[in-house]
Amino acid sequence: MRGTVTYRGTPNIALIKYWGKRDDKLILPCNSSISLTLKGETTAVKGVPFNLYTKTSVLFSDKLAEDAFYINGKKQDLNDKDVAERFYVINQLRERAGNKSHVLVVSENSFPTASGLASSASGIATLIYAVSRALGLNISEKELSMIARQGSGSSCRSVMGGIVKWEKGTAPDGSDSFAHQLYPASYWPDLKDIIVIVSSAKKKVSSRAGMAQTVKTSPLYESRQKVLDKHIASVGAALRDKDLSKLAETVMKESNNMHATMLDTTPPIMYMDDNSKAIVYAIEDLNKNEGRAVAGYTFDAGANAHIITIEGNKDKVINQLKGIEGIESIVVAGIGNGPELLGEDESLIDSQRLAPK
C-alpha cells in the first residue's frame, strides 16, 4: 500500500447522450453513448475563468478513526447521494484489495459543481485511479470503467482520454457494458467545446431521479431508441471523416431529442432555461447564415451549453453569442488525455496530521 496518491481528471461532454437505465442497480444503460473527455486547461473568453479539473488525493491508514470525504474544503455527509456514489467505488476497490483501513479523500473541483458540467464524472473517474493506486491494485482501464459506471454512469467515459464510447452491452450482469477509447485526444486536435455558463446553480432534479422518471413515464422515450441507432452511426461516421457539419447537425438533433423526452416526462423535467433557448436560436441562425452547420449545441442535465466546433470557427461562434445577456462565462475547452497521476508535492492531504492541507 502507498501513502498519499493524487490524480487529476476531467469531465466529459456527451455527443450521444445516456439518459435511462435498463438496470438501476448495476447502472446498465438503455443505449450506448459517445463523449469527448475534455482538457482541464481552458481558454477564458468571458466572465469568471475556470478550468475543468477535479483533483483528488487519497490516503488509507490504520491511524484514521473514520472514513472522511472533503470536496472543495467542505467535509461531506457520507449519506449524501453524491458521496454515496463515490463510496460505492471506494468500497468495491477496498474489498478487492482486502484492505480494512479507513480512507481520507480530499477533492477539489475547479469548475462550478452540479451545473450540468458532470462533476460526478470527473470526480469518480479521478477517484477510481487514486484509490486503486493507493491500494496497490493493478486494474485495466476497461475494468476501472465498469466500476466507475456503477458509481455514476457517465463517469465511466471520463476514465479514458480522447473520444470515448460507452457500450450499452446486453449481458444481464453488465460484463459487456464498459467504456473504450474510439480515438485519442490527438486525433482531431482542432475540435473544441465552447462551454457557455448561464447558471452555476445546483440542478433541481438529479440525473439519476430524472432519467428513471423519463423511462417510466415518457411515451416518446420508446421512439428515441430507434432514433439513437441513426445518431450513433452518424456521429461515428462524422468522427471517422472529421466531418464537422455532420457532427454538429447530429449532436444538435441528439440533444434536442433527449431534452424532448425530458419534457415528455410526468412531471415534466426542464433543464434548459430561456438563456439556453437563446443560445439554441443563435447557433441555428449562425449555421443558416453560413449555409452549413459550423457549430452544434448540446446540453446535458443543466442549462449550460456546450458548443461543438473547430478552432477556425471559434470567433464566429463567440461573436454570435455576444448579445445574450444571461451568459455568465464562456470558456473554450479542447479534448484531453484523461486522468493523470500527480506528484507528492501536489497532494491535498497533510499526511502527518492525517487531515486536508
Site of interaction with ligand PMV (CB under 6 A): 14, 17-19, 33, 120, 152-154, 207-208, 300-301
Secondary structure of residue 333 in the 3-state scheme: strand
Task: Please state the closest distance from residue 160 (CB atom) to ligand PMV, in A.
Answer: 14
Q: Which is nearer to ligand PMV, 7 or 19 (CB)?
A: 19
Q: How far apart are CA 149 and CA 167, in angstroms?
A: 11
Q: State residue 71 phi and psi, 5-degree precision.
A: -125, 125
Task: Please state the closest distance from residue 344 (CB atom) to ligand PMV, in A.
Answer: 31
Q: Which is nearer to ligand PMV, 154 or 177 (CB)?
A: 154
Cβ neighbours of 92 (radius 10 Å) = 18
Q: Which is nearer to ligand PMV, 295 or 301 (CB)?
A: 301
* In the chain, beta strands by DSSP E: 5-9, 12-16, 21-23, 28-29, 33-37, 43-46, 54-61, 68-71, 74-75, 102-109, 163-166, 179-183, 191-197, 296-298, 305-310, 329-333, 340-342, 349-350, 355-356
Task: Please state the closest distance from residue 288 (CB atom) to ligand PMV, in A.
Answer: 27
Q: Which is nearer to ligand PMV, 17 or 39 (CB)?
A: 17
Q: How far apart are CA 165 and CA 306, in angstroms?
A: 18
Q: Which is nearer to ligand PMV, 155 or 313 (CB)?
A: 155
- The whole-angstrom distance between residue 226's C-alpha and the CA centroid of its chain comes to 24
Task: Please state the closest distance from residue 88 (CB atom) to ligand PMV, in A.
Answer: 13
Task: Please state the closest distance from residue 62 (CB atom) to ligand PMV, in A.
Answer: 34
Q: Which is nearer to ligand PMV, 60 or 166 (CB)?
A: 166
Task: Please state the closest distance from residue 258 (CB atom) to ligand PMV, in A.
Answer: 7
Q: What is the side-by-side strand order in the sheet with 43-46?
A: 43-46, 329-333, 191-197, 305-310, 296-298
- The whole-angstrom distance between residue 315's C-alpha and the CA centroid of its chain comes to 25
Task: Please state the closest distance from residue 154 (CB atom) to ligand PMV, in A.
Answer: 3
Q: State residue 144 phi and psi, 5-degree precision.
A: -60, -40
Q: Which is nearer to ligand PMV, 99 or 152 (CB)?
A: 152
- The whole-angstrom distance between residue 231's C-alpha and the CA centroid of its chain comes to 19
